[in-house]
């Protein structure tokens, strides 16, 4: 059936056509519409405000028993799904850390779906395994990791951080996989040192590992970065209370601010204390492609494990994450299982080529293909130029905020992320709670207008606006449009007399 294909005619399904014909006809139309979408996306509103009930009601329909013509379904997709999506390819989208993907990566993603290989098992994906090993090799080379290092692609930073900490657990507490937390009194006293800016997936990983919230020891920050001196004190204090350090988690480009921890200083401490160092480089590790930006990650090459999301600053479609480990033995021991129906030893094989032995996933998508194809087509320097452009735009926005009398940057940017507050002149003396409320409402109403899309967070106990400049098509003119759009929105909220903003919206949606 699959070789002959499926043809839909007058709502009925048959096996009359060839699969290639179906793909050829529908694919030609779809790719043309996708290309037109990219050509005209800047003419669209960035998003369309729809209440969850209205949006979900749009898709509430009975399970179809009979099919409809493909062209009707695809037209419906564009009307009901695409038109009211948030358009990441729009140069005024400055929201979360999700990239507008490179066109060749989009095409590679389609080929990945066509081949449908699971790269967890060699015999299911022999060429896929080879491509992933090459991509991981390139990443190890950029990290300047030693020959005994290794890694694997995963779904994203959460899976990568969990895998890195599992490798740390087996390195620090051998036998933990077999015995579990209850079987090891030492493991029950494990401690992981993290800063407040650490991604929430670290806390989630501790829960998944059975260590609990209390295993995470918060380290004081300085200027929104992990403070090395405070880290030394925290380690000494934990040891004095009988805690056993499992890992230090440092950040290479934090989610909230895009700032980089002092990785060199932290690596010195990790080495002197003999503690595993995991660097969450989900956002910033891609800057290793740029000779100019990689200095911000100095010290990451000394980490024991690094998480890295190419679907952020390598402009890949979701999903494309990776975990890299300095010593492959610890990655090999992070997951230990028996599955003779999948993993078959081969003569002369000193180490299994089945990637599924070293990853959480068994249904493991061939995500390496889009990275492999895109790097070959564009070359690494192309990615460096795209990254540098977005970082330069953040620096340009910072300068504009400094020069304005109604905006206040929360920090100087080190990457393409920047936090700030809008403070209308007449509002500068308002209480903090009112200014926080203004930032919340400002973001909500501005995003609902379709003029742009930004996020928000809390820094130092104060609500701030946050932009992530992920789109290389964003220019300084778009930055001016952002500031003017926020000014216009705030004027509508406060009124010419400077009255308090409406608080009907409450906390902003995140």
Query: DSSP for 334-347?
Result: HS----TTT----T
What is the pLDDT, as a whole number, of residue 183? 64
What SS3 class is residue 412? coil
What gap in Å lies between CA 460 and CA 142, rounded to an integer? 34
pLDDT, tens only, 27-74: 999 999 999 999 999 999 999 888 888 888 888 899 999 999 999 999
Mean pLDDT of 386-391: 98
pLDDT, position 17: 52
Residue with tokens 């007449």: 426
pLDDT over threshold 60, residue 7: no
Nearest to 279 by CA among 310, 300, 297, 255: 300
Give yes or no for a contact between 298 and 285, defined as CB atoms under 8 angstroms apart. Answer: no
The residue-averaged pLDDT of 353-370 equals: 87
What is the overall mean pLDDT for the chain? 90
Return the half-sphere exposure (C-beta side, CA atoms, 13 A cut-off) of residue 134.
16
pLDDT above 90: percentage of residues in the chain: 78
Helix (H) or strand (E) holding 154: strand 150-154
Asked if residue 230 lies in contact with residue 266, where contact means CB atoms within 8 angstroms, the answer is no
Reading the block at residue 234, the tokens are: 């925290």
Q: What is the mean pLDDT of residues 226-255?
A: 97
Residue 248 and residue 231 in contact, taking contact as beta carbons nearer than 8 Å: yes
Distances (CA, A) of 48 to 44, 87, 445, 454: 9, 10, 12, 14
Q: What is the mean pLDDT of residues 115-141?
A: 93
Structural element, H or E, at residue 233: helix 228-240
Mean pLDDT, to the nearest integer, of 337-365?
78
Residue 220 CB contacts under 8 Å (≥ 6 apart), including other chains: 195, 227, 230, 234
In the numeric block, the tokens 């009988």 are attached to 242
Greatest pairwise CA separation for the chain in angstroms: 81
Give the pLDDT confidence score for residue 466 in this predicted structure. 98
d(CA 158, CA 38): 30
Write down the number of H helices and E strands in the chain: 16, 15
Structure tokens at 189: 């006293």
Average pLDDT rounded to a whole number, residues 110-125 = 91
CA 80 to chain centre: 26
- Report the pLDDT value the prediction gives residue 339, as an integer from 0 to 100: 74
Do the Cβ atoms of 136 and 371 come closer than 8 Å?
A: no
């Amino acid at each position: 059936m699959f070789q002959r294909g499926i043809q839909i005619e007058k709502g009925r399904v048959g096996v009359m056509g060839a699969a290639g014909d179906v793909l050829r006809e529908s694919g030609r139309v779809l790719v043309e519409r996708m290309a037109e979408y990219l050509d005209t996306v800047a003419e669209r509103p960035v998003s369309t405000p729809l209440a969850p009930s209205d949006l979900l009601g749009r898709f509430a329909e009975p399970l179809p028993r009979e099919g409809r013509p493909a062209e009707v379904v695809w037209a419906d997709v564009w009307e009901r799904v695409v038109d009211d999506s948030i358009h990441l390819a729009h140069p005024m989208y400055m929201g979360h850390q999700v990239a507008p993907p490179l066109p060749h990566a989009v095409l590679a993603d389609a080929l990945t779906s066509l081949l449908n290989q699971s790269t967890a098992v060699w015999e299911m994906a022999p060429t896929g395994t080879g491509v992933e090993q090459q991509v991981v090799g390139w990443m190890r080379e950029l990290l300047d990791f030693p020959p005994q290092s290794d890694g694997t692609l995963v779904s994203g930073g959460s899976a990568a951080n969990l895998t890195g900490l599992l490798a740390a657990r087996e390195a620090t507490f051998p036998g933990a996989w077999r015995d579990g937390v209850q079987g090891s009194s030492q493991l029950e006293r494990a401690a992981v040192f993290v800063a407040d800016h650490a991604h929430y997936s670290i806390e989630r990983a501790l829960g998944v590992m059975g260590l609990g919230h209390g295993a995470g020891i918060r380290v004081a920050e300085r200027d929104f970065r992990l403070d090395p001196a405070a880290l030394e004190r925290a380690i000494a204090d934990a040891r004095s209370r009988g805690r056993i350090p499992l890992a230090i988690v440092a950040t290479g480009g934090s989610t909230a601010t895009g700032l980089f921890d002092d990785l060199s200083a932290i690596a010195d401490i990790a080495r002197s204390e003999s503690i595993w160092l995991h660097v969450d480089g989900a956002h910033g590790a891609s800057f290793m492609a740029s000779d100019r930006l990689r200095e911000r990650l100095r010290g990451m090459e000394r980490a024991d494990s690094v998480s890295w999301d190419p679907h952020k600053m390598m402009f890949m479609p979701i999903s494309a994450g990776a975990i890299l480990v300095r010593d492959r033995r610890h990655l090999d021991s992070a997951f230990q299982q028996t599955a003779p129906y999948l993993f078959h030893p081969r003569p002369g094989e000193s180490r299994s080529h089945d990637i599924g032995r070293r990853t959480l996933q068994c249904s493991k998508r061939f995500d390496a293909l889009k990275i492999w194809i895109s790097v070959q087509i564009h070359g690494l320097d192309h990615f460096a130029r795209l990254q540098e452009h977005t970082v330069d735009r953040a620096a340009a926005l910072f300068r504009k905020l400094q020069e304005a009398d109604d905006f206040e940057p929360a920090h100087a940017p080190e990457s393409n992320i920047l936090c700030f507050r809008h403070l209308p002149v007449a509002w500068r003396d308002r209480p903090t709670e009112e200014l926080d409320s203004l930032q919340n409402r400002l973001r909500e109403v501005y995003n609902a207008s379709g003029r742009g899309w930004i996020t928000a967070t809390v820094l130092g106990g104060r609500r701030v606006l946050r932009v992530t400049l992920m789109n290389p098509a964003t220019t300084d003119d778009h930055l001016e449009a952002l500031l003017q759009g926020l000014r216009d929105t705030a004027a509508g909220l406060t009124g010419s007399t400077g009255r308090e903003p409406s608080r009907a919206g409450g906390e902003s949606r995140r």
